[in-house]
């Protein structure tokens, strides 16, 4: 949802309006490192737009920096138009962040540190954010195991 080809504020506004109408007051979401890596300023501005929409609907946010869930075959995310969904499949092409190769290659970790610091520096005192999630389900995609 963060990519330049798919970020859709109107659709997000519609979905968060529905969430507000049924009493949802917080939302947790995964941020996609690949989008940040491609264009850090775009990513930060897009996150700000998303948080504005949350605030409009009285919803506070819980951003997650990293995620190892790999439901589909895409273990290393790429920016740009994504494949169309497969009917009847839940999260069939989930894209972990930052992706398998960056997690296992320690030479890449300084890039991830910069990402975290950039985002936290920009949003550290933001009242629209209630809590930060550093890493959702580390090693769930087989990164730490034998998968």
Region 9-136: CATH code: 3.20.20.80
Which pLDDT belongs to residue 77? 66
Which pLDDT belongs to residue 125? 96
Sheet holding 133-136: strands in order across?
A: 26-30, 60-67, 133-136
Which pLDDT belongs to residue 147? 41
CB 33 within 8 A of CB 115: yes
Which pLDDT belongs to residue 76? 66
Q: What is the DSSP secondary-structure string of 45-83?
A: HHHHHHHHHHHHTT-EEEEEEEE----SS--S---SPPP
What span, in angstroms and rounded, lies between the C-alpha atoms of 47 and 7? 10
What span, in angstroms and rounded, lies between the C-alpha atoms of 6 and 3? 5
User: Residue ranges of the chain with pLDDT lower than 50?
Assistant: 71, 143-147
Which pLDDT belongs to residue 6? 86
Which pLDDT belongs to residue 146? 43
Domain residue spans of the chain: 9-136
At a CB cut-off of 8 Å and minimum separation 6, what does 110 contact?
none
Could you tell me the two tokens for 142? 């087989």
Model pTM score: 0.82
Which pLDDT belongs to residue 83? 67
Which pLDDT belongs to residue 140? 59
């Amino acid at each position: 949802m963060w990519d330049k080809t798919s970020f859709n504020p109107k659709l997000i506004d519609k979905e968060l309006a529905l969430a507000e109408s049924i009493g949802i007051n917080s939302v947790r979401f995964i941020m996609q490192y690949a989008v940040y890596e491609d264009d850090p300023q775009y990513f930060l501005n897009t996150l700000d737009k998303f948080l504005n929409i949350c605030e409009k609907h009285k919803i506070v946010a819980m951003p997650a920096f990293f995620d190892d869930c790999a439901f589909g075959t895409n273990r290393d995310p790429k920016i740009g138009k994504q494949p169309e969904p497969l009917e009847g499949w839940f999260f069939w092409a989930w894209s972990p962040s930052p992706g398998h190769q960056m997690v296992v290659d320690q030479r890449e970790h300084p890039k991830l540190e910069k990402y975290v610091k950039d985002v936290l520096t920009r949003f550290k005192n933001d009242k629209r954010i209630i809590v930060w999630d550093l890493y959702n389900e580390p090693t769930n995609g087989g990164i730490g195991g034998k998968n």
